[in-house]
Amino acid sequence: MTVSLERLRGRLVDLHLHSDGSISVPAARRLAELGGIPLDVSDAEVFDRLSVGDSCEDLNEYLDKFVFPLSLIQTREQVEEHIYLLQEELLQRGYAYAELRFAPQSLRERGLTQREVVEAALRGLRRSSFEARLILCCMRGADNFEANLETIELSAEYLGNEIVAADLAGAEALFPTADFAPLFERARELGVPFTIHAGEADGPKSVRDALAMGASRIGHGVRAVEDPGLVRELAERQVPIEVCYTSELQTGALDQVGVRAVDTLLKAGCKVVVCSDNNSVSNTWVSQELMLLASELGLGDAEVTQLLQNAVDASFADEPAKARLRTIICG
């Protein structure tokens, strides 16, 4: 079966998109200029600094690729411009909606507070006509509980003001999901919905822990297939699974369970949502992800449209926005 790229234009939705992992070469040059950072290298060299190669060993090596792009978004001007430029690129590439996620605590190297980072991101968001929302990421670590708690508090304060949820990202195998239960207990108390990266570098227990903590969605989640009972539970509860196929190949998540893991989730009736994860780090887009899975799994236009509808249903957007998006996707 074949899927038309042109038919996807204007209908694309991405719910798992790290903004800091999605800085294009032209955007990198613009952000470097704003920050007074010399970038006297070729475009090919900039691209190499932004993207992971085919030899990536694991998630930890993959995460190392964020050091350079993060250095480009450490001032108010850089953060604002970064969010604006990413939205404009998504608009040009035929996206209808995206949820952009980033960790405010990672953008403080030049003196910004988390609140200042959030305010700058919101200014950038409002400069574009593209419809997007923001997800604030907490980070896995051993000594950053207070920073993570501040992220949750800011998520609650700005909730509904273009910020729609929180997240937990980072080195999953090094910092188990269950360790962050107190943090997300606070999120529940404040009424902040959240997604959690789980079932990528760690196994199905990580997914079970994320569910027990109250996650509305599961980021990656492919290693859930190691536990058939968990797959049945995900299907019965229709918990959205944010599959990022290319990055899961790059980080080795799919080495643990096989590339047919996504097919297993789909055939079990799970609510799979196809996402890109990181446009620049993984050198992919959600259109490419959809076409890749369509080719690998023999999906046609109807099945791809269903995946896009899954994304709308799973989004943290309000109901009027979801209604608009359903009209676009089904039209």
Residues recognised as catalytic: 200
Question: In which residue are the tokens 């003001």 written?
Answer: 161
Q: Quick one: DSSP state of residue 216? A: S
CA distances from 174 to 122, 139, 151, 207, 250 (A): 32, 12, 21, 15, 18
Choose among 53, 97, 103: nearest CA to 73: 103
Chain-centroid distance, C-alpha 301: 24
Looking at residue 275, its amino acid is C
Cα(326)–Cα(306) distance, integer angstroms: 11
Q: State the Rg of the chain over Cα.
A: 18
User: Measured at the alpha carbon of residue 281, what is the angle toward residues 143 and 287, in degrees to the nearest 5?
Assistant: 125
Residue 328 pairs with which residues in a beta bridge?
none
Cα(40)–Cα(52) distance, integer angstroms: 21
Cα(34)–Cα(80) distance, integer angstroms: 11
Cα(56)–Cα(29) distance, integer angstroms: 25
Q: What is the separation, in whole angstroms, between the first and last Cα of the chain?
A: 21
